[in-house]
Structure 1
Amino acid sequence: MVALFVSLCLLSGTWATLRGGFAGSGPGLRRTGLDPNAVGLAVVAVGAAVWFFGWVFGLAFIVAVLLHEYGHVAAFRVCGHADAQFRLLPLVGGQAISSRLPGSHVEEVFITLMGPAIGLAPMFVLLSASELLWNAAPHLAYGMQILAMVIAGLNAFNLMPFWPLDGGKILRILVFTFLPGAAQGVTLALSALAAALAILTQSYFLFIFVLLGLSGLLQSAQVIRLQRPMSWRRGLLAAGAYLTTTATYAWVALPLLSMFRLG
């Protein structure tokens, strides 16, 4: 019961942090929902998830992706991007977009990190509530645990320090904050490491992300210089938030990541 109470407090804190992003969130989502291309992509994405993972894990994966992408959208809107929206993409998961770049590295890190971070509170609520319900409603409790594990697995994967995953984007900004001249080299080196890791582990998802990120990686060297850099102090705070979020998801997701071997 204590764990559930703490989880609900964390959920309230998440709501308060993104409150400005939830307000007025309808227009962007309605435009995406009425776009035939977006609807088609969403149908294919759901079908692909069910095909690869089965009904239970596939639908849990879609819910986790929706939550993740809405975290990005809400964070975008907190930062003044009223047009932010997202769409589901087959195999990739989803993509949050806005018509303009975040104006600073602080905003960029906040928007990028809140995609994964928004799932922390729901994950802990699901885990703690499932423990209380296990004897009374074992099937419901089992489903809640699966969804919590999928949220953890998806976000642990997404926070790996490889471009263009969220973790790679955050790490690139952190390196630029402390060693601006090394950002491109570190990103390229980690991309090569990610490709090698994908081949060694036969991780198709990781390999797909590496390929998709190649074009954006070449442009990112110019984009990162268009935004206002953040101070070392904020860089340390951002690094702490990133590492804490990553470690929490990795701790919860280890059984799931072992099961799927990173994809």
Structure 2
Amino acid sequence: MLGLVLSLILIAGTALALRGGFAGAGWNRAGFDVNAAGLSAVAVAAAIWFFGWQYGLAFIAAITIHETGHVAAFRVCGHKDAQFRLIPLFGGVAVSRSLPASHDKDLFISLMGPAICLGPMALCFALAQLIFPQAAAVASFLYIQGLVLGGLNLFNLLPFWPLDGGKIVRLLTYTFFPKATRAVSILMSAAAAALCVVTGSYILLFFVLLGWQGLIQSEQLIELQRP
């Protein structure tokens, strides 16, 4: 029961931090880009095909929660146009037409993707434990959902660009050691590429290489933001 109470406190705290970020109606409330519904449908099908229906649906749900956190944070920071879309094999992405106005807003947006997953993750584990004697199948899925939410958070907080952890490291480095930003950026990408090669994750390696151009551009864009 304590776990359930703590999970609800986490959810309430996140909702408080993101108050005003869930404006709109229907799908727009969560920031889902309905114009990319076809791409999102392919993403759902691909996830179920590769991971099975339980882990596939849990993965899509986790990505949706994560990206909703980014979108809500964008909106709190004044980006009312922010939306997210699901991308086959790569998860999802939250976008806005304009750059966050300051480093602290950029940091807030990067943090709220992982942060919004903490409450639901804890809630899934707490509910799974409570209902297991009465509904083992439902409890099993909730446990899987909690694992996927936790795994997604762990992955996204790795200090590699363009993951949230990499963005956070870049922002903190530029804030406290601006001259080291380029070196840290290169180190992050090299470490990510090396990890992909060692683990044989060539799809992720493609993702890292794809993000290299964005990393170079981000060094120019970060200078346009207020500290």
Normalising by structure 2, report the TM-score: 0.95
Which residue of structure 1 lines up, in the alignment, with residue 11 of structure 2?
11
User: Is contact 2:7–2:123 with CA below 8 Å preserved after alignment?
Assistant: yes
Equivalent of 1:79, from 77, 80, 86? 77
Structure 1 residues 39 and 196, CA, compared in 2 at 3 Å: closer, same or farther? same
User: Is contact 1:18–1:74 with CA below 8 Å preserved after alignment?
Assistant: yes
Cα offset, 1:106, TM superposition: 0.3
Query: In the alignment, residue 13 of structure 1 is paired with which amino acid?
Result: G
Structure 1 residues 25 and 107, CA, compared in 2 at 3 Å: closer, same or farther? farther
Return the alpha-carbon distance in structure 2 between the equivalents of residues 155 and 207 of structure 1. 19
Which residue of structure 2 lines up, in the alignment, with residue 139 of structure 1?
137
Cα offset, 1:182, TM superposition: 0.5
For the residue of structure 1 that corresponds to 2:94, the secondary structure is strand
User: Is contact 1:28–1:84 with CA below 8 Å preserved after alignment?
Assistant: no
For the residue of structure 2 that corresponds to 1:226, the secondary structure is coil
Structure 1 residues 115 and 24, CA, compared in 2 at 3 Å: closer, same or farther? same
**Cα deviation code 1:14-44 (max 9, x no counterpart):** 11111210123654768821x2xx1221111
Which residue of structure 1 lines up, in the alignment, with residue 45 of structure 2?
47
Query: In the alignment, residue 84 of structure 2 is paired with which amino acid?
Result: F
User: Is contact 1:79–1:107 with CA below 8 Å preserved after alignment?
Assistant: yes
Return the alpha-carbon distance in structure 2 between the equivalents of residues 139 and 171 of structure 1. 40
Structure 1, unaligned stretches of length 5 or more?
A: 230-263
Equivalent residue runs for 1:89-238 within 5 Å: 89-229=87-227
Let me know the Cα RMSD of the aligned residues. Answer: 1.5
Return the alpha-carbon distance in structure 1 between the equivalents of residues 107 and 194 of structure 2. 27
User: Is contact 2:31–2:68 with CA below 8 Å preserved after alignment?
Assistant: no
Structure 1 residues 129 and 59, CA, compared in 2 at 3 Å: closer, same or farther? same
Query: In the alignment, residue 24 of structure 1 is paired with which amino acid?
Result: G
For the residue of structure 2 that corresponds to 1:82, the secondary structure is coil
Matched, 1:32 2:33: yes
Structure 2, unaligned stretches of length 5 or more?
A: none
Return the alpha-carbon distance in structure 2 between the equivalents of residues 29 and 140 of structure 1. 25
Equivalent pairs, count: 226
Return the alpha-carbon distance in structure 2 between the equivalents of residues 142 and 97 of structure 1. 34
Return the alpha-carbon distance in structure 1 between the equivalents of residues 48 and 220 of structure 2. 39
Range that drifts further, 67-76 or 45-54? 45-54
Cα offset, 1:91, TM superposition: 1.1
Query: In the alignment, residue 77 of structure 2 is paired with which amino acid?
Result: C
Between the aligned residues of both structures, percent identity stands at 56
User: Is contact 1:28–1:83 with CA below 8 Å preserved after alignment?
Assistant: no
Return the alpha-carbon distance in structure 2 between the equivalents of residues 156 and 31 of structure 1. 24
Range that drifts further, 44-53 or 64-73? 44-53
User: Is contact 2:23–2:29 with CA below 8 Å preserved after alignment?
Assistant: no
For the residue of structure 2 that corresponds to 1:22, the secondary structure is coil
Query: In the alignment, residue 167 of structure 1 is paired with which amino acid?
Result: G
For the residue of structure 2 that corresponds to 1:101, the secondary structure is coil
Cα offset, 1:204, TM superposition: 3.7
Structure 1 residues 62 and 181, CA, compared in 2 at 3 Å: closer, same or farther? same
User: Is contact 1:72–1:115 with CA below 8 Å preserved after alignment?
Assistant: yes
**Cα deviation code 1:212-244 (max 9, x no counterpart):** 211101111110101111xxxxxxxxxxxxxxx
Query: In the alignment, residue 90 of structure 1 is paired with which amino acid?
Result: P
Range that drifts further, 121-130 or 208-217? 208-217
Return the alpha-carbon distance in structure 2 between the equivalents of residues 29 and 23 of structure 1. 8
Return the alpha-carbon distance in structure 1 between the equivalents of residues 190 and 94 of structure 2. 25
